[in-house]
């Protein structure tokens, strides 16, 4: 009779062979592109995002990740990736191909870690069965596949906070330029040229692009705010539109907007500080409980033990 272990091995081997054949067939058959994804790649907004992402330097590791991502975009169906954080990638200036390549690399890393650990443990006679690393590898690969999504959202959150801080200074600079008699476009461009951070560089690039794109500077800020998910830029664009199209005096409005932005940022920082302070009280409370338990434990043990 065939032993149960041999039957399991034969069954699992056949399943792996069938899975390999299915994956090979799926890879060889041309995939049907997703219509929405294809139209998005052909849109002017996608070309603009691609141009923005190519301005950043790529290292050797980034080039390998980009190549893997571009291959996956052509060979694998678009539905398997799930929702793409487009706004987060836009503010980070990270191309979608690199994002896809990171997801594949993380998934491959998840598949490789459990077998390596199993071989290491079995060298010490741990006796782990072969199906444990297989199941653990699939589970870990599925978890690590979504790690780039979390990283992109977390990095974009910090980038938006940094953008909001720099935007307050930029608004003040625009107000000072307008007070000195500069026109709306000249004030916005001169204020963007003052700073050397990535926020001022991004604003200067968008304003320079309006000289040949046919858009007004405030329309460009509206588009940039919608692309990056920054409503603060919409408020600044509305104020400058009143100055450019209606000739309104906007010095007071700009200073008030800058003050309101700083107040909102200060309120957010205070809320974060209060959350940290509340979390710090938990360990102190636990230490107090442990100290009381140490004091009460001897007397409680004597009572429970009874008279000797």
Are the C-beta atoms of residues 185 and 203 closer than 8 Å to each other? no
Looking at the structure, do residues 199 and 254 belong to the same domain, yes or no? yes
Establish if 37 belongs to a structural domain.
no
The whole domain housing 97 covers 66-71+81-145
Looking at the structure, do residues 172 and 254 belong to the same domain, yes or no? yes
Residue whose structure tokens are 């974009």 = 156
The three-state secondary structure class of 111 is helix
User: What is the 8-class DSSP label of residue 17?
Assistant: H
Exposed, middle or buried, 281 (CB in 10 Å: 0-12/13-18/19+)? exposed
Looking at the structure, do residues 138 and 168 belong to the same domain, yes or no? no
pLDDT tens digits in sequence order for the chain, 308 residues long:
445 556 556 566 667 677 777 766 666 555 555 566 666 656 555 555 555 554 444 444 568 888 888 888 887 777 777 788 989 999 999 998 899 999 999 999 988 888 888 878 777 776 667 777 778 888 898 999 999 999 999 999 999 999 999 999 999 999 999 888 888 899 999 999 988 889 999 999 999 998 888 889 999 999 999 888 888 898 899 889 888 777 778 888 899 989 999 998 899 888 888 888 888 888 888 888 888 888 888 887 777 776 65
Are the C-beta atoms of residues 111 and 141 closer than 8 Å to each other? yes
Looking at the structure, do residues 183 and 113 belong to the same domain, yes or no? no
């Amino acid at each position: 009779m065939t032993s149960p272990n041999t039957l399991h091995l034969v069954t699992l081997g056949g399943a792996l062979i069938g899975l390999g054949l299915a994956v090979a067939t799926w890879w060889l058959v041309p995939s049907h592109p997703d219509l929405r994804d294809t139209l998005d790649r052909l849109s002017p907004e996608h070309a603009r995002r691609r141009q923005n992402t190519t301005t950043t330097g790529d290292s050797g590791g980034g080039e390998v990740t980009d190549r893997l991502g571009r291959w996956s975009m052509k060979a694998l169906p678009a539905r398997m990736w799930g929702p793409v954080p487009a706004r987060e990638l836009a503010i980070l200036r990270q191309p979608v191909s690199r994002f896809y390549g990171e997801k594949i690399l993380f998934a491959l890393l998840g598949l490789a870690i459990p077998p390596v650990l199993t071989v290491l443990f079995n060298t010490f006679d741990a006796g782990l069965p072969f199906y444990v690393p297989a199941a653990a590898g699939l589970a870990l690969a599925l978890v690590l596949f979504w790690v780039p999504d979390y990283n992109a959202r977390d990095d974009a959150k910090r980038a938006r906070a940094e953008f909001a801080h720099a935007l307050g200074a930029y608004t003040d600079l625009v107000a000072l330029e307008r007070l000195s008699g500069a026109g709306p476009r000249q004030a916005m461009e001169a204020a963007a040229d003052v700073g050397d951070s990535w926020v001022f560089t991004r604003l200067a690039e968008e304003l320079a692009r309006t000289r040949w794109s046919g858009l007004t500077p405030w329309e460009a800020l509206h588009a940039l705010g919608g692309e990056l998910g920054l409503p603060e830029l919409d408020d600044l664009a509305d104020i400058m539109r009143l100055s450019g199209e209606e000739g309104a005096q906007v010095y007071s409005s700009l200073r008030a907007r800058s003050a309101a932005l700083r107040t909102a940022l200060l309120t957010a920082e205070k809320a974060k500080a209060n959350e940290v302070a509340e979390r710090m009280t938990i360990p102190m409370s636990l230490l107090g409980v442990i100290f009381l338990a140490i004091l009460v434990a001897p007397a409680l043990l004597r009572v429970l033990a009874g008279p000797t």
